[in-house]
Structure 1
Amino acid sequence: MHPQLSVVVPMYQEQEVLPLFVERLRPVLDGLATPYEVVAVDDGSRDQTPVLLQRYRREWPELRILRLRANSGHQAAISAGLMGARGDWVVTLDADLQDPPEVIAQMLALARAESVDVVYGVRTDRSSDSVFKRLSAKVFYAGMRRAGATDLPDNAGDYRLMSRATVDAVNALPEHHRVLRLVIPSLGFPSASVGYVREVRAAGRSKYPIAKMVRLSVDSLTGFSLTPLRLATWFGLGGFLAAVGLLLYALVAKLTGLTVAGWTSTVVIVAAVGAVQLLCLGIMGEYVGRIYTTLQRRPTYYVAHDSLTGQDSRTAAGGAVNRAGELSRTPTPPARD
């Protein structure tokens, strides 16, 4: 039966929380009276996550396993799930149970009642997060709005429901290293939101350390806005004006005989100008790097196995990994009389 609802769940090293996640998610979906599928995207886990998924699939026929050949990252795993999802409505949900699965019913009902394409899950209470996490999230959302992401919902992560039209639009985008929490609002499709209380992680540990959070922020900024480049231009203009002012000051001091021999001011000025130059070069380097990776046209993920077909990318007849990274099939030519 064709599923009306697909739930895409990226997973990486989730053996501790997976039993709890299945225990909460399945009753919610079974109670919707809607044909569904759960697309569990195993992002190259090296623990018992693949084994547990296979075990649950034997007793849960709606569970579909999409295994990536190597760890590709959270956003790439979600993109792989969106590419493979078949439902008329698609929900993206993490497996750590910080975003309660029970909200899916509210999202689906709201989308149908108001005829919107996207329903965002908005965290109305983040008291379970650390002070650093709450502060960094506030800075991130405020900074992205200043950079031009005016449609970005506040405190909305990757927990959302999307219509088939929205998913098709996202899948058609050619960009690499996309950050979906920025890309989807930028489409401008009709949307609504559902508030919920963010819970503590049910088990295991977070897969988003500070380094990955910084990388996500950089990808968000450079992949969505030209503001950093314009900022580099303003830095350059400010440095030029400061240099002109110092030149005029030096000329006046020379003419009035007020020059004082010393190196402190020179060192400070040279260090400041050098720092601004390096900052500007770093900003431009981020954009050049994104252009370089785009021109390489390398897939952001490789699908190793899809339990829907029961075949992997090496043995599937006519199977090939295309530019977007999904497993595709070459049509069989019609037989001739």
Structure 2
Amino acid sequence: MPFPHLSIVIPMFNEEAVLPLLADRLRPLADAMVADGVCAAYEIVAVDDGSTDATPVLLQRLRRTWPEVRVLRLRANAGHQAAISAGLARARGDYVVTLDADLQDPPEVIREMLTIARTEGVDVVYGVRTDRTTDSGFKRWSARTFYRAQRALSSVDTPLDAGDYRLMSRATVEAVNALPEHHRVLRFVVPALGFPSATVGYRRAERAAGESKYPLARMLKLSVDSVTGFSLTPLRFATWLGLIGGLAALAILVFALGSRLAGHTLPGWTSTVVIVSAVGAVQLLALGILGEYVGRMYAAMQGRPTYFVAHDSLGEPEQAPQDRV
């Protein structure tokens, strides 16, 4: 099989019901892209995230009739984001698309993503859900709240309503693979790199078959990982509490002294109130200062580069100077 120009990474966990539908829909599209010259060759990296149903058996059967399929089986269920990371580490294509197996994100958009990446010269093309009427009202509300809160808490300019359906260049994939952090949330890791990007809108469909692998508990865990992985705001919360507490302690001091001078206090009340307020403010402020240092250490441990070099002219042949008129 020729070296793939395009890799499609698909994480799977107990997807026996939807897998045949996915193959019937994806293969004609991928083969058509090769026939039309959109890409020279492709590979399907199916990441079996420790499935306990017939998914592994179906994948092995699929490989016999579809040579472009690669099966990467994890020993245990590692989670959706970890499964995608495993696929990115093994993908070989110049461009890599991450796609869920449930067919809620239409595979037909891959062709448009690849075309935009080439014509506009961008490294990332995000799939943006412009129509989410198939989702429940609670799901739409929670998604909007989640993305807007994340953008407010962090400096990552994440496209709204963009999940894990995206196309990435080889440079982007290598940058993601080089990051040492373990609890990656790729829908925020990729935008944090700052590579040139574009978006493609699509209508989010209902799950073709099977059950959702993102219950409320897992969504909450993803939210916690996102906030703690991309924002130092929780650590700085104690700093702001300390500053506010210091101002409150100063106001209480003025009030306590005024009450004492007016003779409206009991013996010892003024000193007790002032000391307790001042000590509490100092403690919160000290915790905030420690939080700032911990935040800097955490950012250093994440190992996210501060820049990426796109081109260096060193080694290129020098151009002859043009004659001036």
* Common fold by TM > 0.5: yes
- Give the corresponding residue for 1:133: 139
Q: Which amino acid aligns with 2:17?
A: E
Shift of 1:259: 4.9
- Give the corresponding residue for 2:93: 87
Shift of 1:150: 4.3
Which string of whole-angstrom CA distances, capped at 9 and with x for unpartnered residues, describes residues 17-42 of structure 1?
11211111111111101311110101
- Give the Cα separation in 2 of the matches to 1:91 and 1:149: 25
- Give the Cα separation in 1 of the matches to 2:51 and 2:245: 49
Which string of whole-angstrom CA distances, capped at 9 and with x for unpartnered residues, describes residues 64-100 of structure 1?
1000111111111100000000111100000111101
- Give the corresponding residue for 2:117: 111
Q: Structure 1 residues 236, 214: CA separation in 2 closer, same or farther (over 3 Å shift)?
A: farther
Q: Which amino acid aligns with 2:9?
A: V
Q: TM-score, normalised by structure 2?
A: 0.78
Number of aligned residues: 278
> Contact 1:149/1:182 (CA < 8 Å) preserved in 2?
no
Map 1:253-272 onto structure 2 (within 5 A): 253-259=259-265
- Give the corresponding residue for 1:310: none
Aligned counterpart for 1:189 among listed residues 181, 189, 195: 195
- Give the Cα separation in 2 of the matches to 1:254 and 1:211: 54
Q: Which amino acid aligns with 1:227?
A: T
- Give the corresponding residue for 2:219: 213
- Give the secondary-structure state (helix, strand or coil) at the position aligned to 1:31: helix
- Give the Cα separation in 1 of the matches to 2:15 and 2:249: 56
- Give the Cα separation in 2 of the matches to 1:31 and 1:242: 68
Shift of 1:161: 0.5
Aligned counterpart for 1:59 among listed residues 65, 77, 85: 65
> Contact 2:99/2:166 (CA < 8 Å) preserved in 1?
yes
- Give the secondary-structure state (helix, strand or coil) at the position aligned to 1:53: helix
Aligned counterpart for 1:201 among listed residues 186, 198, 207: 207
Q: Which amino acid aligns with 1:32?
A: M
- Give the secondary-structure state (helix, strand or coil) at the position aligned to 1:193: strand
Matched, 1:32 2:53: no
Which string of whole-angstrom CA distances, capped at 9 and with x for unpartnered residues, describes residues 168-207 of structure 1?
1111111121111111112121111110001111111211
- Give the corresponding residue for 1:176: 182
- Give the corresponding residue for 2:20: 19
Shift of 1:155: 1.0
Shift of 1:147: 2.2
Aligned counterpart for 1:142 among listed residues 133, 145, 148: 148
Aligned counterpart for 2:51 among listed residues 45, 48, 68: 45
- Give the Cα separation in 2 of the matches to 1:28 and 1:123: 21
Which string of whole-angstrom CA distances, capped at 9 and with x for unpartnered residues, describes residues 315-336 of structure 1?
xxxxxxxxxxxxxxxxxxxxxx
Q: Which amino acid aligns with 2:216?
A: I
Identity rate, percent: 64
The structure 1 segments of at least 4 consecutive aligned residues displaced by more than 4 Å after TM superposition are none
> Contact 2:156/2:188 (CA < 8 Å) preserved in 1?
no
Shift of 1:108: 0.9
- Give the Cα separation in 1 of the matches to 2:249 and 2:214: 43
- Give the Cα separation in 2 of the matches to 1:45 and 1:256: 75
Shift of 1:137: 1.3
Runs of 5+ unmatched residues, structure 1: 261-265, 296-337
Max Rg structure: 2
Q: Which amino acid aligns with 2:144?
A: K
- Give the corresponding residue for 1:6: 7
- Give the Cα separation in 2 of the matches to 1:213 and 1:252: 52
Question: RMSD of aligned C-alpha atoms?
Answer: 2.7
Runs of 5+ unmatched residues, structure 2: 267-272, 303-325
- Give the secondary-structure state (helix, strand or coil) at the position aligned to 2:242: helix
Q: Which structure: greater helix fraction?
A: 2
- Give the Cα separation in 2 of the matches to 1:177 and 1:248: 48
- Give the Cα separation in 2 of the matches to 1:14 and 1:231: 42
- Give the corresponding residue for 1:299: none
Q: Which amino acid aligns with 1:140?
A: F
Q: Which amino acid aligns with 1:186?
A: A
